Amino acid sequence: MPVTIGAVREIAPNETRVALVPEVVEKLALAGARVLIEPGAGARAYFPDSLYKKAEWATCAGEVLAAADVLLTVQPLSVDQIQQLKSGAVVIGFMQPHARKAEVKALRDRRITSFSVELIPRISRAQSMDALSSQAAIAGYKAVLIAASHLPKFFPMLTTAAGTIRPSQVLVIGAGVAGLQAIATARRLGAVVEAYDVRGATKEQVKSLGARFVDTGVSAEGAGGYARELTAEEKAKQQEVLDSRIAAADAVVTTASVPGRPAPKIISRSAVQRMRPGSVLVDVAAEQGGNCELTRAGEVVVHNGVNIIGPVNLPAQLAYNASEMYARNLLNFLKPALDKGELKIDWTDEVFVQSCLTHEGVVKHEPTLKALEG
Ligand code: NAD
């Protein structure tokens, strides 16, 4: 029997992406799978049903959930959706294991094999599966467009009959995947860009994109290429230099994050007070608590004439490409487990082992297991 791979319309508020796009459905069908989709699943990402030539259509979401051997999702399934899956089914998607305890318990109790794309190891072989990176790049791009559209200034230098317009100064804090894309986008729009990250390794990447690296003299390289948390002394030193660069910027885009922890607070109220009225701060880390003390997720806070924007789910604002990239990530993850249309997971493969959240009634991811027990 060929494996049945399913996707349903996302039910989370403001989620416009879809886990399966037509191009990926065709590739799954070529690999021998049967693909079952809820009508309208791709509509909000501008993939109408008519484009899914190789899909079969269910009458409702419940039918997909009950029939799928493998269910692909963007946002975590709700407990109610998990109850409708067949026991032993496989679910792949953003599982948000830190935040979704009830859902993880339901996956465990229903004996669902779940893979959390956040846990896919960041090894070279898995780059094409790296959904965190594909979606972070979108967030960085979109954050700069939001900054540009709120700023009462041009980004580029203009020489006009009405005189010369000076280019805007953009500061990007956090030069990971989102930050690097933010730098590239701001540069393409003609701004003068500075960037800062606690990881010294980013210095060359920042420079290669045509931006200046802000050197605070503090390095916080941690395990696995990620940042570690800074000491109080290091934070104060970092702050001194950063505050002066924040005050000089027309637009600040912050993307700093430490895996599994609330976003580091880098911009204080007093730093915002030093910014010029009309300047803009876009806090890409808003959903993790924000890099700025004044950020409120999903809101625009105006403080002394400075707009502090806390966007939520930026990738959903670019739903077409975000879905395309995400669906390709899922295909690259799943394809090695498809053998002539049948599902055969290689449990010696570190990609499957490390990204597995629940399997055969057990929570496999240690930190999540500890959080549940704690
Ligand atoms: P992330 O989203 O976890 O963090 C974003 C950035 O914030 C990071 O660059 C981090 O150093 C920075 N940061 C944290 N605390 C900060 C602070 N107090 N002040 C300033 N900046 C701070 O990171 P990410 O974008 O997911 O990527 C993290 C690393 O993983 C990068 O080195 C990236 O190149 C690497 N990576 C590797 C692969 C791969 O090899 N397959 C894929 C993607 C990313």
Model confidence at 200, pLDDT cuts 50, 70, 90, reads: confident
φ/ψ of 25, rounded to 5, equals: -60, -45
Whether 83 is catalytic? no
Model confidence at 118, pLDDT cuts 50, 70, 90, reads: very high
Q: Is the pLDDT of residue 226 over 70?
A: no
**Type of residue numbered 50:** S
Cβ atoms within 10 A of the Cβ of 273, count? 12
- Give the Cα separation of 191 and 157 in Å (integer): 8
pLDDT digits (tens, 9 = 90+) for 314-350: 999 999 999 999 999 999 999 999 999 999 999 999 9
CB contact at 8 A, 192 and 169: yes
CB contact at 8 A, 173 and 243: no
Please name which of 373, 366, 363 lies closest in space to residue 103, comparing C-alpha atoms. 363
Please name which of 237, 240, 245, 185 lies closest in space to residue 213, comparing C-alpha atoms. 245
Q: Which residues line ligand 1 (CB under 6 A)?
A: 122, 127, 130, 132-133, 136, 173-179, 196-199, 202, 225-227, 230, 255-259, 264, 266
Q: What residues contact 124, with CB distance under 8 A and at least 6 apart?
A: none
State the pTM of this model.
0.94
Q: Is the pLDDT of residue 219 over 80?
A: no
Q: Is the pLDDT of residue 184 over 80?
A: yes
Mean pLDDT of 19-46: 98
**Nearest residue by C-alpha to atom 32 in ligand 1:** 225
Whether 283 is catalytic? no
Radius of gyration of the chain, Cα coordinates, nearest whole angstrom: 22
Tokens of 311: 């966007």
So what's the pLDDT on residue 79?
A: 98
So what's the pLDDT on residue 218?
A: 75
Distances (CA, A) of 183 to 144, 199, 254, 320: 8, 16, 11, 22
Mean pLDDT of 133-146: 98
- Give the Cα separation of 195 and 29 in Å (integer): 44
State the average pLDDT for the chain.
95
So what's the pLDDT on residue 216?
A: 86
> Which of the two residues, 179 and 260, has the higher pLDDT score?
179
So what's the pLDDT on residue 124?
A: 97
Q: Dmax of the chain from CA atoms?
A: 71
- Give the Cα separation of 35 and 123 in Å (integer): 29
Model confidence at 304, pLDDT cuts 50, 70, 90, reads: very high
Please name which of 188, 183, 238, 186 lies closest in space to residue 214, comparing C-alpha atoms. 238
Tokens of 266: 């880098």
**Nearest residue by C-alpha to atom 27 in ligand 1:** 176
CB contact at 8 A, 271 and 291: no
Query: What number does the ligand 1 atom closest to the CA of 180 have?
Result: 25
Model confidence at 225, pLDDT cuts 50, 70, 90, reads: low
Distances (CA, A) of 44 to 63, 82, 299, 320, 353: 21, 23, 23, 9, 33
Mean pLDDT of 156-170: 98
φ/ψ of 62, rounded to 5, equals: -55, -40
Distances (CA, A) of 14 to 111, 299, 360: 29, 14, 33
- Let me know how long the chain is: 374
Q: Is the pLDDT of residue 150 over 90?
A: yes
Q: Among 35-44, 96-105, 224-233, 348-357, where is mean pLDDT lowest?
A: 224-233
**Probe target for ligand 1 pocket from 124, 226, 240, 292, with the most ligand atoms within 8 Å of CB:** 226
Tokens of 273: 């007070």
Residue 229, classed as helix, strand or coil, is: coil
Query: What number does the ligand 1 atom closest to the CA of 264 have?
Result: 18
With vertex at residue 282, the alpha carbon angle to CA 292 and CA 254, rounded to the nearest 5 degrees, is 60
Label residue 138 exposed, middle or buried (CB < 10 Å: 0-12, 13-18, 19+): buried
Q: Is the pLDDT of residue 222 over 80?
A: no
Model confidence at 236, pLDDT cuts 50, 70, 90, reads: confident
So what's the pLDDT on residue 71?
A: 98
So what's the pLDDT on residue 199?
A: 87
Q: Is the pLDDT of residue 228 over 80?
A: no
- Give the Cα separation of 124 and 111 in Å (integer): 31
N- to C-terminal Cα distance for the chain? 42
So what's the pLDDT on residue 365?
A: 96
